[in-house]
Structures are given as structure tokens and as C-alpha cells.
């Protein structure tokens, strides 16, 4: 699943988001693209849970 995270702008942002998703699912594969401001997540968790994890990291996220 892919999320648009408009406020993600640096390495600290990607690290915080990745950490929250890993707390939700340690097996998740997370790929971030700062230029496009997107986060790709390969997980068995529902998209709502992943979105909540990104929100918990302090960022708004929209499922694409």
C-alpha cells in the first residue's frame, strides 16, 4: 500500500515513520520517497492501522 505524507521532508521524518510502522509490524517493508513524499508499506496489517502508525509519528497520511 502507498501513502501520501505531505509533511515528510527529511531523514528524521522517514526514520520516525519507519519506526512507528515497525512497532506495528516488525516484518513490514517500508520504502520512502522524499521527493514524491510517499511511503510504500508491504505488510499484512490493514491500511487503517498503518495510517494510524504514521499519524502517531506526527504526520498526516492519505492512502493512494
Residues 26-54: pLDDT tens digits?
A: 999 999 999 999 999 999 999 999 999 99
Length of the chain: 64
Instruction: Evaluate whether 3 touches 18 at the Cβ level (below 8 Å).
Output: no
Q: Please give the pLDDT value at position 50.
A: 97
In order of 37, 42, 45, the CA distances from 29 in angstroms are: 17, 5, 12
The fold for domain 2-63 equals Alpha-Beta Plaits (3.30.70)
Q: What pLDDT does 18 receive?
A: 97
Q: Is 17 exposed, middle or buried (0-12, 13-18, 19+ CB in 10 A)?
A: buried
Nearest alpha carbon to residue 20 among 47, 52, 44: 52
Amino acid at each position: 500500500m502507498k501513502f501520501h505524507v505531505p509533511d515528510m521532508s527529511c531523514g528524521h521524518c522517514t526514520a520516525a515513520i519507519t519506526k512507528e510502522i515497525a512497532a506495528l509490524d516488525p516484518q513490514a517493508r517500508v520504502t520512502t520517497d522524499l521527493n514524491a513524499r510517499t511511503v510504500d508499506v508491504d505488510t499484512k496489517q490493514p491500511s487503517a492501522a498503518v495510517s494510524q502508525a504514521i499519524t502517531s509519528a506526527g504526520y498526516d497520511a492519505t492512502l493512494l
